[in-house]
Every structure is written in C-alpha cells, then in structure tokens.
C-alpha cells in the first residue's frame, strides 16, 4: 500500500487502518483544498450507518455543523420496491444494526452533529444551510437521486459531493440515479478507484 503521495509536502493525517485507503485519502486531499480556499458552508452525510466515514468529516472540521441523515433502521420499504422492480439491487443488506447513540459516541465532536432520523428528503425540512462537503452513501436509487436534487443546488462554490457505490454492481441504482441527475443538470462526475467506486461532483 502506498502511504503517501510522492510529492505531497504536507503531513498526512489520514487513518491508515480505515478499510478503504483511497476513499479516505481522497477525502483528506479534498479537506486540504477546502481549507486552503477557506470554503464556507456546512457538511452532511446521507446514509450514515455507524458513522465510520462521517467521523472524518467531524474530525477535520470541528467548527462546522455536520448533518447526519439516516433512517437508523436500515432500508425503507418504499425505497426497496423501486430497487426490486428495476432490478437495481436485491437490498439484501440490512444496515439496521446501528443506533444514534453509537454514531454520536464515535464522533470526536458530537456537539457539532445534527441528527435527522427518518426518510429523506422529508427529514431535510426547514433547513436553510448551504454545504461545502456532502457524502451520499445510501446505496439505493431513490435516496441517491433525492440527495443530489437536494444538495447540489445548496452546494457552495468549490464544494464537493461524494457519491459512494457509483461503480458498485451490487447497487446499480446509484449509477442510474447519478447519470439521470447529471444529464438533467448537464454536469459530469469524476470516478475514483476506491473499493466501491465512489464518484465526485464539484462546483
């Protein structure tokens, strides 16, 4: 495993024990760009599960709010039906073995975390924030598409949206949702060679 960029002259702070080195190292480079440009806005993750990726957001930006959107009970049956009828995925994974307390206890700065439990985008009601860094990791077509529709217009200049599972054949709905949204908005994505095929949208 390559543990540093050949010409990277800054001290690396990524946790090399994280299961996906490319994913977390890419995040670290994005964090550097956001800080270097002093980009405003808050952060969010849609599809938190146990918070293992979101905790990096919280650690790198302790002064920014981090919105955590999740059902905290696994896939919603309303989303499952779309997956199965379109043969996007089998939805066999449950992701229900998590709790809000477990997630918050993993955060270095839990006081900056705002939990929105329930089905998205219903849980986004009343928010007026803009965002500099967003992770969409909800696996299924409908929440990915709804996440892009919600967050992209609220993404600040020089902001980033990371979409997990874009090139994951187990969750084909992710690519379908991203491609539909990008065609509608006439934008493109940058694919990554991480474990589950993340892609990135920027402003």
pLDDT for 12: 72
Contacts with 20 (C-beta within 8 Å, 6 or more apart), sequence order:
194, 195, 196
Contacts with 6 (C-beta within 8 Å, 6 or more apart), sequence order:
none
According to DSSP, the residues that pair with 114 across neighbouring strands are: 67
Sequence ranges of the domains in the chain: 21-202
Q: Beta strand pairing status for 131-136 and 199-202?
A: unpaired
pLDDT for 194: 95
pLDDT for 2: 47
According to DSSP, the residues that pair with 200 across neighbouring strands are: 162, 190
Q: Buried (b) or exposed (e) across 86-114, using 16+ Cβ within 10 A? A: eebbebeeebeebeeeebeeebeebebbe
pLDDT for 14: 66
Topology given in CATH for the domain delimited by 21-202: Rossmann fold (3.40.50)
- pLDDT mean for each 10 residues of the chain (203 residues): 67 74 93 97 98 95 98 92 92 91 97 98 97 98 98 98 97 97 98 96 97
SS3 content of the chain, % helix, strand, coil (to 5): 35, 20, 45
| 124 to 98, 150, 162: CA distances (angstroms) | 21, 9, 18
Which pTM does this prediction carry? 0.94
pLDDT for 72: 96
d(C-alpha 48, C-alpha 50), whole Å? 6
pLDDT for 158: 98
């Amino acid at each position: 495993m390559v543990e540093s960029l050949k010409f990277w002259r800054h001290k690396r702070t990524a946790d090399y024990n994280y299961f996906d080195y490319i994913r977390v190292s890419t995040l670290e480079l994005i964090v550097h760009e956001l800080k270097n440009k002093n980009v405003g806005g808050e952060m969010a993750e849609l599809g938190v599960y146990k918070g293992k990726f979101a905790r990096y957001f919280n650690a790198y930006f302790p002064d920014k709010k981090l919105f955590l959107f999740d059902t905290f009970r696994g896939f919603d049956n309303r989303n499952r039906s779309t997956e199965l009828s379109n043969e996007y995925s089998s939805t066999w994974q449950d992701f229900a073995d998590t709790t809000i307390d477990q997630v918050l206890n993993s955060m270095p700065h839990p006081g900056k975390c705002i939990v929105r439990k329930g089905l998205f985008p219903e849980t986004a009601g009343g928010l007026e924030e803009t965002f500099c860094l967003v992770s969409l990791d909800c696996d299924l077509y409908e929440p990915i598409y709804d996440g892009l529709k919600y967050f992209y217009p609220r993404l600040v200049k020089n902001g980033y949206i990371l979409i997990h599972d874009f090139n994951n054949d187990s969750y084909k709905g992710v690519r379908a949702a991203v491609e539909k949204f990008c065609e509608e908005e006439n934008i493109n994505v940058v694919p990554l060679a991480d474990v589950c095929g993340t892609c990135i949208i920027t402003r």
